């Protein structure tokens, strides 16, 4: 193992351990290590991933860019898992709407994993809830895919557009039908989802339900004005 590899491994371990004194000594003696990467990630990514606020601050103060991306296009903010770290990163200029290589923001990931507290916090900080991925997927669609009712309610209450369409022309309502989730179908319809909107194949949510013989969902959609 080369000397630099050994140094990098040691730094990674001390980040996980929260050993700020070791890191201060190491980068004072070997400042050239600061901008090295480990598996495509900066040390700032690693500090944030390990929820180490003091070490996160340490690396930002020493010049690691708060919006530098890893090999997947993620900034350190994508890795944040606490309000305190998010607050710190934003205070140092982190782009709240930064996208990874697939176009996903922090909110997309939070919605998919049903992290209501952090998505709510990001929304209050001004995150755009209607950004689309490269495939046109919104955070609301991610929440629908996960079957997360509370997240869907939260996103809608904070301004998510229920009628946005992905690259196939599908809305969150189309997705709810395809996932055979009548609770979510009803929730979206109650919050203004267009029950007669067509996707790229000229299919309405009702037509999708009919094609799969989803009688309960068909009845529900017709109660909200869906037409044959």
Mean of all residue pLDDT scores within the chain: 96
* Residues in Cβ contact with 170 at an 8 Å cutoff, skipping those fewer than 6 apart: 141, 178, 199
- Complete domains list, the chain, with CATH: 1-95 (1.25.40.20)
Nearest Cα to 214, choosing from 177, 186, 161, 188? Answer: 177
What is the per-residue pLDDT across 172-200, written as a single tens digit (0 to 9) for each? 999 999 999 999 999 999 999 999 999 99
Structure tokens at 66: 């708060």
Residue 2's pLDDT band, with cuts at 50, 70 and 90, is: low
Q: What is the pLDDT of residue 4?
A: 64
Mean pLDDT within 136-141:
99
What is the per-residue pLDDT across 68-123, written as a single tens digit (0 to 9) for each? 999 999 999 999 999 999 999 999 999 999 999 999 999 999 999 999 999 999 99
Mean pLDDT within 31-47:
96
Nearest Cα to 190, choosing from 225, 166, 216, 214? Answer: 225
pLDDT greater than 80 at residue 159: yes
pLDDT greater than 60 at residue 158: yes
Integer distance in angstroms from the first to the last C-alpha of the chain?
68
CB count within 10 Å of CB 126 equals 9
Mean pLDDT within 11-30:
96
**Cβ atoms 33, 65 nearer than 8 A:** no
pLDDT greater than 60 at residue 23: yes
Q: What is the pLDDT of residue 171?
A: 99
Structure tokens at 46: 């690693």
- pTM: predicted TM-score of the whole model, two decimal places: 0.93
Mean pLDDT within 55-75:
98
- Tell me phi and psi for residue 38, to 5 degrees: -125, 115
């Amino acid at each position: 193992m080369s000397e630099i590899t050994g140094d990098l491994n040691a730094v990674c371990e001390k980040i996980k351990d929260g050993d700020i004194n070791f890191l201060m000594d190491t980068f004072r003696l070997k400042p050239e290590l600061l901008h090295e990467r480990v598996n495509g990630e900066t040390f700032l990514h690693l500090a944030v991933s390990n929820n180490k606020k003091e070490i996160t601050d340490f690396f930002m103060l020493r010049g690691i860019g708060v919006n530098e991306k890893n090999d997947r296009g993620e900034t350190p903010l994508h890795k944040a898992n606490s309000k305190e770290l998010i607050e710190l990163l934003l205070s140092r200029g982190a782009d709240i709407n930064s996208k990874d290589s697939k176009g996903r923001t922090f909110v997309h990931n939070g919605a998919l994993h049903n992290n209501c507290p952090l998505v709510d916090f990001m929304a209050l900080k001004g995150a755009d809830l209607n950004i689309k991925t490269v495939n046109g997927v919104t955070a609301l669609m991610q929440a629908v895919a996960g079957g997360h009712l509370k997240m869907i309610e939260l996103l809608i209450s904070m301004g998510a557009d229920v009628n946005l369409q992905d690259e196939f022309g599908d809305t969150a309502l189309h997705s709810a039908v395809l996932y055979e989730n009548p609770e979510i179908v009803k929730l979206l319809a109650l919050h203004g989802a267009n029950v007669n909107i067509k996707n790229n194949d000229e299919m309405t949510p009702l037509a999708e339900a009919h094609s799969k013989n989803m009688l309960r969902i068909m009845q529900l959609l017709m109660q909200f004005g869906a037409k044959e």
